[in-house]
A and B are shown apart, each in its own frame.
Chain A
Amino acid sequence: IAGITQAPTSQILAAGRRMTLRCTQDMRHNAMYWYRQDLGLGLRLIHYSNTAGTTGKGEVPDGYSVSRANTDDFPLTLASAVPSQTSVYFCASKRTGDTGELFFGEGSRLTVL
C-alpha cells in the first residue's frame, strides 16, 4: 500500500441496500476526510476525523456514517442507499494542524439504482 487506497473503485447498488466504502492510508496521517464529487457542485465534505477515535460532520453528512477505530482506516457507510447518493466518493488525509496538502485516494464511483 502506498498513500491512500479506496475500495471498491466502482459499484452499482440497489436502493435500500447498505454499503461501506473502505479507505486505508499508510502515511500515519492523523486527519482523514470523505468528500463526494458531483457535476456542477464540486467536492463537498461528508465527514471528517482529526484523529483516531474522533469524527465530525461536514457539509453533507445526512445518510452517511463513519468510524475511526485506528489511524489507518476510515470507512464510510451508507445505511440505506438512495439514488441521490450516486456520486464519486474521495477519501483524503493530511497531518493534523498542517494547513497544507490533502492526499486523495483514487475515488469510488457509486451508482444507486
Chain B
Amino acid sequence: RKEVEQDPGPFNVPEGATVAFNCTYSNSASQSFFWYRQDCRKEPKLLMSVYSSGNEDGRFTAQLNRASQYISLLIRDSKLSDSATYLCAVNIFPRDNAGNMLTFGGGTRLMVKP
C-alpha cells in the first residue's frame, strides 16, 4: 500500500460546481499536511497547508481527519482556471531522524468545463 493515496480522477465538473478531493495516508505519525497544485507540464506549487482545525482560503477549504487518516480539499464555485492536478503531500519524519521530507500522493486531475 502506498503511503499517500489519491483518486487519480479525472474529475470533470461544470463551472460553478463544488468539488471535493480526499487523500489518505498510512503513517499515523505524520506531522504536516499540504495541498499542491500542478498545471500541465509545470512544476508543483503550494496551494495551502492543512491545519488540524481546518483552514479556508477564498473558495478553497482544507480539512484534516487524524482519526481516519485523511485530508480533504473542497473547491467551491469552480472556475475554468482551477483545471489542474492537485497533489496532497504529507511530512513524515524518517526513522533515523535525519530530517524530514514530503511524500506526495499521485495527484487528482480536475477539469472544469464551461
Contact = CB atoms under 8 A, between A and B. Distances in A.
Interface string A70-113: 00000000000000000000100000100111101111000000
A102 B106 contact: no
B104 A43 contact: yes
Nearest to B96: A56
A102 B32 contact: no
B101 A45 contact: yes
A99 B103 contact: no
A96 B99 contact: yes
A50 B103 CA distance: 16
Contacts, number: 55
B47 to A, nearest CB: 10
For chain A, what secondary structure do more than half of its interface residues adopt (helix, strand, loop), or is it mixed?
A: loop
Nearest to A3: B43
Interface residues of B, number: 26
Interface in A20-72: 31, 33, 35, 40-45, 48, 50, 56, 58-59
Centre residue among B6, B45, B101, B107 by max chain A CB count within 10 A: B101
B102 interface: yes
Contacts of B106: 40-42
Contacts of A90: 43-44
Nearest to A50: B99
Contact of A104 (B34, B43, B100): B43
Interface in B45-92: 45-46, 49, 87, 89, 91
Contacts of B99: 31, 48, 50, 56, 96
Interface of B: 6, 8, 31-32, 34, 36, 42-46, 49, 87, 89, 91, 94, 98-107
